[in-house]
Structure 1
Amino acid sequence: MVHLLEDSPLTAPLPAVVTELGRLFADAGHELSLVGGPVRDLFLGRSSPDLDFTTDADPDQIIAVIRRWSDAFWEIGREFGTIGLRKASFTIEVTTYRAEAYEPSSRKPVVAFGTNLEDDLLRRDFTINAMALRLPSLELVDPYGGVKDLHAGLLRTPGAPSSSFSDDPLRMMRAARFASQLGVEVAPEVRDAMTAMAERITIISAERVRDELIKLINGAHPRRGVDLMVSTGLADHVLPEVPALRLEMDEHHRHKDVYQHSLTVLEQACALETDDDGAVPAPDFALRFAALMHDVGKPATRRFEPTGAVSFRHHDVVGAKLTAKRMKTLRFDNDTIKAVARLVELHMRFYGYGEAGWTDSAVRRYVSDAGLQLERLHRLTRSDVTTRNRRKAERLAFAYDDLENRIAALAEQEELASIRPDLDGEDIMKLLGIRPGPVVGRAYRFLLEERMEHGPHTREAAESKLRVWWAGQPEAGDES
């Protein structure tokens, strides 16, 4: 199907660099088309600084055309036929027509260059990405019905789904990601192929899987994406802790559906992201992923008590360890791993406050233990309330309001975000006449505990407490 762009229901303007580059290639005797996501986004009213093009020119010919026009270019993807460049605020990739496939046991694609646009589009992942704009004529090339599928909210593959996923198994993750980002439904044949071929995702590198997972979690409808991964078995290989949440219910249904609860918490956490105050701007991966993973320790800790109740003791601590382990396997950076694991570990801490009033000391510890994750922890804890009992939900919300007010009140008096002892290491050594070593650390921890328990002291009071503590230490009589 080929028709003029002017006859198509586009809702976003076409950047001038697109037609400008098209004329350059045409003048050099080459074909050039805007392709894939940027074309799809034109119909969705979205613009992107990243533009993908395909051409009959080989990498050397591409460079010859863009060398003087681009602000900078690079050849990192040359072996795959791709030349990258930057023009103004746009990042651009121009790729020679190609077809690629994976060997059954390989993580790397085998690339073969093609000769025409239609064949190149056939190898694309989904029909909504298998559309192109010929340049500079602005003809829309849509041989597989991408526009129709986009308007129908349907995700299909240009060819047989099994062939598409065999060529690149990561496309199964992309299907789940598009379900999250665009809210599309996956065609039955695509779902069936994902289910039959889910294990093939294991040949893809952890880094590529991680990147798709981040995009999925940060999408507008992450619940859809996660549920698609779980229902097709893809999550069994990528994120097995999540499908494990589908605990077999006992005949008396003495605990809630942990899997559906976790998806609801994920949705509620997304709704609590705040762009207005900048505390947790949307989308926030750490908050969202912690919401999804917060109960992954429950399958390993579920116990049926003699009373008939079901318990999940220490599932927060177990869940934090499982989450950190999974994120390491997926090659997440250490800071993100620590942030998410900390949130999972602390997500139950508040319930002690709701059951019995906390001292100022307990509030300080809550803030100190949360550290930089405090704002996320506020939102995760509130999101974890999914009870249908309105009175219980209101009671928990009131209790957390009270805790936040307590934190705010103490913060006006103290620097809660960075609680430190009233004396530092140099002060300790000078006062006690000791050298650097383990004793200084013990003294520091004693003063920190005092600070947590009783709030800030005057310098004189802190020195007095330290002298009393020191008098009871075995090293007090040693040579300084």
Structure 2
Amino acid sequence: MTETKSIEVPEPLTRLGERFEEAGRELYLVGGFVRDALSGSIGKDVDATTGSHPKEIKRLLGPVADHLWTVGERFGTIGARVGPYDVEVTTYRTDLYTQGSRHPEVRFGTDLVEDLARRDFTINAVAASAENGEIRDPFDGRKDLEFGVIRPVGDPLDRMRDDPLRMLRAVRFETTLSTSEKPFAMTPQLEAAIKENAHWLESISAERIRDEFEKILLSENVAKGLRTLVRLGLMPYIVPEFMETLNVEQEAEFHHKDVFEHTLIVTQNVEKDPILRKAAFFHDIGKPRTLVYEHRCTYCGAKSIQKNTEEGECEHCGGRTLPKKIHFYGHENVGATMARKSMKRLAYPKDDIDAVAHLVANHMRPMGYAVGRDPWSDSAIRRFIRDTHLSRGDRELANVDMLLKLAQADITGGAPRRRRIAEESWRSLKSRVDAVRAEDSVEKLESPLDGNDLMQLFGRGPGRWIKHVKDYLENETVEGRLGEDDTEKARELAVAYAREHDPFEEG
């Protein structure tokens, strides 16, 4: 790779290079497109740089672009759709983040090498002529790419100070570029600079932090990425609550790892879906705040709940009490609340927040099936399917399939001797869910009577009473005791329900 003199440039980009060359300007492909091309793959997102200023870039791009966008013009960037490629052309520049600022001070430059010198890492500071693919590599990025080294261009402190988000980008590249055949690693100097200055992330907007964090969560090596974020002191500036999971022991019968290690396993093993990965990351985040110890009296055997492991005195007989079990009562609900707060702070969309919180809040439901003394009835399975479904309008946000995938990943983080039993229970639950759904689309079942029908039936206007009656009828439908189209029986049930519960008192 270090001997590679050029890359193959796709024809639409070659035409773009020729267009700039005819105008007496150079155009170089840079960043991830060149990095990936050197590794043997060609992407569709292209970054390029030139000595032209935005006004001239627009003039040169216009005739060959299918579409132009100028949202980044004040930073020197013009975007264009050229054939199948999304191209962003940026004027040579230098960026500087001043302390306390969330936006860079942009200065245009005149030289390619000067532009490459302000980039984050050597593997991203390799340029290729858009016209002929000839490589320019003043900082030996090809060598670092070949040997799996994440090395800053120049002094690590200067590069991180220029844009502190680069500390997260370093973790992201180490995480996403690593393979079992060729792992990537940061230089010791870069790691030291990040550890000492992780607090610089406070100057970066939540949206930019979120986007980098999301890329780490969706990588093949997510456990490695999360571990590195914690080790380098970056996690406190992303999801500080996650730090509470470190060294929190769990009941050995069910878990052979602490909460932190268990979470890494589950997040790594769940399907690579944006909602599922976040649900796995947050699923046990409420455990540290709900941790209690079940104590037992060594004399009379009485049980008590304590917040610590210290020996105590039995309130029944005065005997000595010792901790015997660990519990996290209600951690799923506490965790759902924490997930909402964290995701809102990171400016995630409301639908994503609701979906993740919903999955976290319900992630213990499959455990109820596994440990229940009596097998679930078909009605219980129907309620389970219905309760785990979440939608907004016509958009489905979460469903029982997603919850079962999360539960399956959760099992992989359990104690090995309990894992086989849990897997058998999961397969049984999945089979019963599939059987019930084959008969009905349980998630879509509704009351045979809508609000207008109920107002006409009872001769009353709108009010909260409608919801009470509709919920009752809907539940009867889900339970299979009322047909979805059986309006006659629905009227009888509604009248009987109103006679017994008098929902009209609430308006």
Normalised by the length of structure 2, the TM-score is: 0.85
Correspondence for 2:351 = 335
Write out per-residue CA displacement over residues 222-258 of structure 1, whole angstroms, 9 at most, x where no aligned residue.
1121111111110011111222210355999996311
3-state SS in 2 of match to 1:310: strand
Native 8 Å contact 1:2 1:139 kept in 2: no
3-state secondary structure, aligned to 1:376 = helix
Distance 1:95 1:157 in 2: 21
Matches within 5 A, 1:288-307: 288-307=277-296
Distance 1:76 1:463 in 2: 57
Question: Which amino acid in structure 2 is aligned with residue 358 of structure 1?
Answer: W
Tell which deviates more after alignment, 323-332 or 181-190: 181-190
Query: In 1, distance between residues paired with 2:326 and 2:417?
Result: 22
Gaps of at least 5 residues in structure 1 are: 271-282
Judge conservation of contact 1:235–1:243 (CA < 8 Å) in 2.
yes
Over 3 Å counting, the alpha-carbon distance change for 1:263 and 1:455 in structure 2 is farther
| Offset from partner CA, 1:60-87 (integer Å, 9 cap, x none) | 3323322322223233322222222221
The residue that corresponds to 1:264 in the other structure is: 265
Residue 360 of structure 1 corresponds to: 378
Indicate yes or no: 2:363 matched with 1:347: yes
Counting matched residue pairs gives: 461
Q: Which moved more, 1:261-270 or 1:240-249?
A: 240-249
Instruction: Kindly provide the amino acid, as one letter, of the partner of residue 177 in structure 1.
Output: R
Mapped to 2, the partners of 1:239 and 1:264 lie a distance apart of 18
Where does 1:364-443 land on structure 2 (aligned, <5 Å)?
Answer: 364-371=382-389, 372-386=398-412, 389-443=415-469
Deviations 1:117-143 (Å, cap 9, x if unpaired)?
111111111111000013424321112
Q: Is the 8 A contact 2:263 2:280 kept in 1?
A: yes
Secondary structure at the aligned position of 1:103 is classed as: coil
What SS is found at the alignment partner of 2:63?
A: coil
**2:475 is the alignment partner of 1:449:** yes
CA shift digits 1:197-226 (9 cap, x unpaired): 101001101111111111111122111211
Give the counterpart letter for 1:293 in structure 2.
F
CA distance in 2, matches of 1:47, 1:137: 16
Matches within 5 A, 1:138-287: 138-183=133-178, 184-249=184-249, 256-270=257-271, 283-287=272-276
Alignment pair present for 1:59 and 2:54: yes
Structure 1 residues 420 and 253: alpha-carbon distance in aligned structure 2, compared to 1, 3 A threshold: closer
Q: Structure 1 CA distance, aligned partners of 2:411 and 2:103?
A: 44
**Matching of residues 88-107 of structure 1 within 5 Å:** 88-107=83-102
d(CA) in 2 for partners of 1:314 and 1:398? 25
Letter in structure 1 aligned against 2:490: A
Contact residue 339 and residue 373 of structure 1 kept, 8 A: no
Which one-letter code corresponds to 2:187 in the other structure? A
Aligned positions of 1:60-79 closer than 5 A: 60-79=55-74
Aligned to 1:108, the other structure's residue is in SS state: coil
2:219 aligned counterpart, secondary structure: coil
Instruction: State the alpha-carbon separation in 1 of the partners of residues 406 and 364 from structure 2.
Output: 10
Q: Could you give the per-residue CA deviations for residues 104-125 of structure 1, whole angstroms, max 9, x where no partner exists?
A: 1111111122221111111111
* Contact 1:246 1:258 (C-alpha < 8 Å) held by counterparts: yes
Structure 2 alignment gaps of length 5 or more: 179-183, 297-322, 390-397
Structure 1 residue 4: deviation in Å? 6.5
Question: Is the CA contact 2:126–2:141 (under 8 Å) kept in the aligned structure 1?
Answer: yes
Deviations 1:138-171 (A, max 9, x none): 3211121211111212211111111111000011
Change (3 A) 1:430 1:248: closer
Task: Name the structure 1 match of 2:302.
Answer: none
> 3-state DSSP class of the match of 2:192?
helix
| Aligned counterparts of 2:427 and 2:2: Cα–Cα separation in 1 | 59
1:37 aligns with 2:65: no
Alpha-carbon distance, 1:194 to partner: 1.0
Residues 388-418 of structure 1 deviation map (CA, whole Å, 9 limit, x = unaligned)? 6545212111111111221122223322122
CA contact (8 A) 1:361 1:455 kept: no
User: What TM-score results when the alignment is normalised by the length of structure 1?
Assistant: 0.90
